[in-house]
């Protein structure tokens, strides 16, 4: 499971002209779910996301986590994080979990994130979304649950 974190001052997700999710300062997290991912991957990533110290203190040093600043999370499913571009000119997504399994695990990520007490918003699974991000920094970090193995 991969998570691409972007520190933001605010963000929103629009589906068919309707805002379906909106946050203030915090993190937008794009989640890519692979064929071999499990509930443990979801738990690992959420723990890492809420504890990662990527918010600046008064001197500009990364010292605070999203939990420390009481920030908000926007979780967006994004299978394209699993793109394999090694061959040809068109990415392959064979490493991405099938939609049913990916949705189940994405929902696990959402439930684990909600259990942290943070405010959590989401996009809509398997929908065309327009994500507006007000990047802060910019700070963008890629996490991969394979790193724990």
* pLDDT at residue 147, as a whole number: 87
Report how far residue 149's alpha carbon sits from residue 138's, in angstroms, rounded to the nearest whole number: 29
pLDDT beyond 80 at 95: yes
Strands in 1-50 per DSSP E: 2-15, 18-23, 26-32
pLDDT beyond 80 at 133: yes
Tens-digit pLDDT profile for residues 14-38: 999 999 999 999 999 999 999 999 9
Q: Give the pLDDT band (50/70/90) at residue 148.
A: confident
pTM, two decimals, is 0.95
Strands 72-77 and 119-122: parallel
CATH topology assigned to domain 2-148: 3.50.80
Question: Mean pLDDT of all residues in the chain?
Answer: 96
Q: Where in the sequence numbering do the catalytic residues fall?
A: 80
Write down the domain spans for the chain.
2-148
């Amino acid at each position: 499971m991969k998570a691409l974190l972007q520190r933001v001052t605010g963000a929103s997700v629009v589906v068919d002209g309707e805002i379906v999710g909106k946050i203030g300062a915090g993190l937008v997290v794009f989640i890519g779910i692979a064929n071999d991912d499990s509930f443990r991957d979801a738990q690992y990533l959420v723990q890492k996301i809420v504890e990662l110290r990527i918010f600046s203190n008064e001197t500009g040093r990364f010292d605070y986590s999203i939990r420390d600043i009481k920030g908000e999370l926007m979780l967006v499913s994004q299978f394209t994080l699993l793109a394999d571009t090694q061959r040809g000119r068109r990415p392959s997504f064979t490493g991405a979990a099938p939609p049913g399994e990916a949705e189940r695990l994405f929902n696990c990520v959402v439930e684990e994130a909600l259990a942290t007490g943070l405010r959590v918003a989401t996009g809509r699974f398997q929908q065309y979304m327009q994500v507006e991000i007000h990047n802060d920094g910019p700070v963008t970090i890629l996490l991969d649950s394979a790193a724990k193995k």
